[in-house]
Amino acid sequence: MLKMESHDDIIPGHRADPGQPPPSRRVFRSWRRWAAGVICVVLLTVAVHAEEPMITESVHSFAHLRWRPLALAVAAETGSMVALGLMERRILIMGGLRLPVGRSLAIAYASNALSASLPVIGSGAATAFTYRRLVSQGATSALAGWALVLSGVASNVAFILIISIGAIVSGNIAGVAAGAAGTVLTLLVAGVAVIAVRRPAVRDRVTRAAIWTLTRLRRLIRHPAAEPAQIVADALAGLGAFGLNRRDVIHATASAFRNWAFDLLCLAFSIKAAGAHVPWWGIILACAANTSQPPRSMHERSG
């Protein structure tokens, strides 16, 4: 019986790639992207037309701006985003994943855009985006999750300490108390996590408590599907992958402080660009009062 050769075997140098989708699916994906782009353009056009009076008024108000403080505000915001990206990159390095600086900054900018642009679901969408991007760059699920958590802890500590300084200088006792309570709580959670990784006795207690909690949660909401013991073991293994040496911790914490400091400077220069008086110490408390979720994580920051 004669063996029929396929078309791919006849053409020299041509082999079908089993990992690539069929041409029909590629065409469908391309068409779907074009359709999504057209829909976005239409929605943007409708939104601009609906808000035309406000946009026109905003453009006219630019004539009254002070351009030098505005340029400084843009520079400060750029410095804030760079500091955020470097903090995230340093935390990933502690976990054994070294991303290029440009890639880290791109993820930080994109996740911040999602968080600030999407109403209600912006924070969750930004978190999911950052998680998927980290996994696509080679991070394990546990590493990506803990990187998000540790980034939030570092940013939270910096934010609370800055608020405390502003509260002390401005004489706001409530702000001092809130800052102290937040700092203690954050450091307590971080300390328990570190001790749980390094001391077997504490690790066993934390493991049993986490398994007990997840087991009862699973009975109530039928989620997560995986076994609680396996989830806890993977989570602790992921946390144990981080090498918390002094140099990297100092770098990450310093970047978190720079992130908040530049962000506050951006707000101050923006106020100055509008011609208003800048309450240099009160602006810290004002920023805290108007931030519904102060702790920043890898995915969120206030622009």
pLDDT score of 140: 83
pTM of the model: 0.67
With a cut of 60, say whether residue 16 has pLDDT above it.
no
Burial 253-269 (b: 16+ CB within 10 A, else e): bbbbbbbbbbbbbbbbb
* SS3 of residue 188 by DSSP: helix
pLDDT score of 170: 64
With a cut of 70, say whether residue 255 has pLDDT above it.
yes
* SS3 of residue 17 by DSSP: coil
Higher-confidence residue of 181 and 10: namely: 181
Average pLDDT value for residue range 258-266: 90
Q: Where are the domains of the chain?
A: 68-289
With a cut of 60, say whether residue 2 has pLDDT above it.
no
Highest mean pLDDT among 33-37, 79-83, 152-156: 79-83
Report DSSP state, residue 241.
T
Nearest to 183 by CA among 203, 202, 167: 167
% of the chain at pLDDT higher than 70: 71
* SS3 of residue 95 by DSSP: coil
Q: How confident is the model at residue 210 (pLDDT cuts 50, 70, 90)?
A: confident
Residue position matching structure tokens 């087991």: 215
% of the chain at pLDDT higher than 90: 9
Distance of CA 172 to the CA centre of its chain: 30
pLDDT score of 221: 72
Per the document, the length of the chain is 303
Q: How confident is the model at residue 125 (pLDDT cuts 50, 70, 90)?
A: confident
Where residue 138 falls (left for φ over 0; alpha for ψ -120 to 50; beta otherwise) is left
Where residue 288 falls (left for φ over 0; alpha for ψ -120 to 50; beta otherwise) is alpha
Cα 212 from Cα 233, distance rounded (Å): 13
Number of CB atoms found within 10 A of residue 228's CB: 18
Nearest to 298 by CA among 95, 75, 71: 95
86: its two tokens: 């470097």
pLDDT score of 83: 92
With a cut of 50, say whether residue 47 has pLDDT above it.
yes
Cα 48 from Cα 280, distance rounded (Å): 35
